[in-house]
Homo-oligomer: A and B are copies of this chain.
């Protein structure tokens, strides 16, 4: 014990009690740091002897200090200085929260993900950051009719609790598509979630423990990065190229680590819009089987495929290893929050547990609406009608990029999805560029937010799902203007410091 308080010179004649004086000295020692958090105080017997007081007074001193939040007593172990500062009316009333809340250091990706919901979206701004479709394509009239029907016919049922796996009829509709696309065989494998975003979070909470090693594509969907990081895992990024995840790079990691999970988007990857090639997919599955890791395959963009032709999903080949997540967000609206996860084996039951303890189940009303919509057969007609439109917008955006930014960036034509992935030929400060872009009336997502680790290469994701061809072109024109302004300032360091 480093405790070294002089307790011999107490005023035993004056008006203040010895108890009050001792309490005051301990408080001062704790507030000044002379007594550190967690430090053990002398036993009441030792205190009584040192301060020449009786044992009951020593007990009273410690009780007062405990009442005031300065010390805490552990039965059989003694009395200790608390690590949480005691309340103090003078200080900022929220100071104490910061002292007691667990550490939470949001990563750059986390920040950008939140910021992307807060980026300016007023009419004057061209949002190339927003990846969601034009709300005009959502079948709101049909869903309105369905919602009214569901509540008129179902009465209180669509407002009542469901079991955590979700509405059986909806799970059956999803499983039917699973049989066609290869992500599931039966409704038992399906758990309905509040969007694919929740499905990813449930998978991470079910499979990943702090300290585990997990792998994801880099760049990838920010939500995958965030959920993996929140799980306390070590997240290793593997590059993606025109054929998707670099499986050779993955093998080198597997030789060195016991990897728990590899997260991919095997079709129309976000943000690159490219597929995992069949040869690489085959090798990835072989590795999963040999090395016993889970593959999380996020298929949200795989249905948004320009040619409308669907390859069987990865889970088709190795259902106990591949956990598949998907949603209706890219087709009938992310605001509905209807997604699902397909899995089997012990992890399937865990997902039900974690779902139950997260939010009981996904809204019954929206599940009933989604079920009737899928059962109507309109869904596939909507996909057939909208996907060619995305191809058209994609090509227009590619042409605009070529026209306004051809010297600055490289880009590959995606096979589907809503995004282009632009990499800069020369380094540029992404944050400075985003500020300048907002000044010029356009937004984008900074590329490094989508990487497992920031790299020296600057990149950005721009999206074509929401805007008309003319708006896309105007957006890229403004982006090019912002790039020129940032390059210009960077070439004059004195001015850069002022920006």
> A interface vs B, CB < 8 Å?
63, 66-69, 72-75, 82-87, 93-94, 96-104, 106, 110, 113-114, 117-118, 132, 134-138, 140-141, 143-145, 147-152, 154-164, 193-195, 197-198, 201, 206-209, 212, 223, 226-227, 230, 255-258, 260, 289-294, 320, 332-337, 344-347, 350, 352-353, 356-366, 369
Bound Cα distance from A69 to B254, whole angstroms: 9
CB pair A97 B347 closer than 8 Å: yes
CB-based nearest B residue for A232: B210
Residues of chain B within 8 A (CB-CB) of A335 are 157-162, 363-365
Residues of chain B within 8 A (CB-CB) of A255 are 63, 66, 72-73
Residues of chain B within 8 A (CB-CB) of A114 are 164, 352-353, 356
Residues of chain B within 8 A (CB-CB) of A197 are 358-360
CB pair B100 A320 closer than 8 Å: no
Bound Cα distance from A457 to B79, whole angstroms: 34
CB pair B152 A138 closer than 8 Å: no
Q: Which 8 interchain pairs have the tightest Cβ spacing?
A: A135-B156, A159-B333, A144-B151, A335-B364, A102-B209, A94-B345, A198-B359, A147-B147
CB pair A72 B362 closer than 8 Å: no
Residues of chain B within 8 A (CB-CB) of A256 are 72-75
CB-based nearest B residue for A332: B159
Distance in Å from the Cβ of A346 to the closest Cβ of chain B? 5
CB pair A97 B345 closer than 8 Å: yes
CB pair B350 A101 closer than 8 Å: yes
Bound Cα distance from A101 to B75, whole angstroms: 37
CB-based nearest B residue for A364: B335
Bound Cα distance from A145 to B152, whole angstroms: 9
Residues of chain B within 8 A (CB-CB) of A68 are 290
- Known pairs A135-B155, A151-B144, A163-B117; A359 contacts B194 (CB<8 A): yes
18 example contacts (A-B, Cβ-Cβ < 8 A) are as follows A63-B255, A66-B255, A82-B258, A85-B292, A93-B345, A96-B320, A101-B206, A117-B163, A132-B161, A140-B151, A147-B147, A159-B332, A159-B336, A160-B334, A162-B335, A194-B362, A201-B359, A365-B366
Residues of chain B within 8 A (CB-CB) of A72 are 255-258
Q: Which of B93, B140, B152, B361 contacts A159 (CB 8 A)?
A: B140
Central interface residue in A148, A257, A365, by most chain B CB within 10 Å: A365
CB pair B159 A98 closer than 8 Å: no
Bound Cα distance from A82 to B137, whole angstroms: 51
Bound Cα distance from A161 to B197, whole angstroms: 12
CB pair A290 B320 closer than 8 Å: no
Residues of chain B within 8 A (CB-CB) of A207 are 100-102
Bound Cα distance from A413 to B209, whole angstroms: 45
CB pair A337 B359 closer than 8 Å: yes
Bound Cα distance from A224 to B80, whole angstroms: 30
Q: Which of B66, B226, B260, B347 contacts A357 (CB 8 A)?
A: B226
Given contacts A96-B320, A113-B357, A141-B151, 18 further A-B contacts (CB under 8 A): A69-B291, A94-B345, A94-B346, A99-B292, A114-B164, A114-B353, A117-B163, A132-B160, A135-B156, A140-B152, A143-B159, A143-B365, A148-B148, A160-B335, A198-B360, A201-B357, A336-B365, A358-B358
CB pair B160 A333 closer than 8 Å: yes
Bound Cα distance from A362 to B369, whole angstroms: 16
Residues of chain B within 8 A (CB-CB) of A162 are 335
Distance in Å from the Cβ of A309 to the closest Cβ of chain B? 27
Q: Which of B63, B84, B289 contacts A258 (CB 8 A)?
A: B84
Distance in Å from the Cβ of A164 to the closest Cβ of chain B? 7
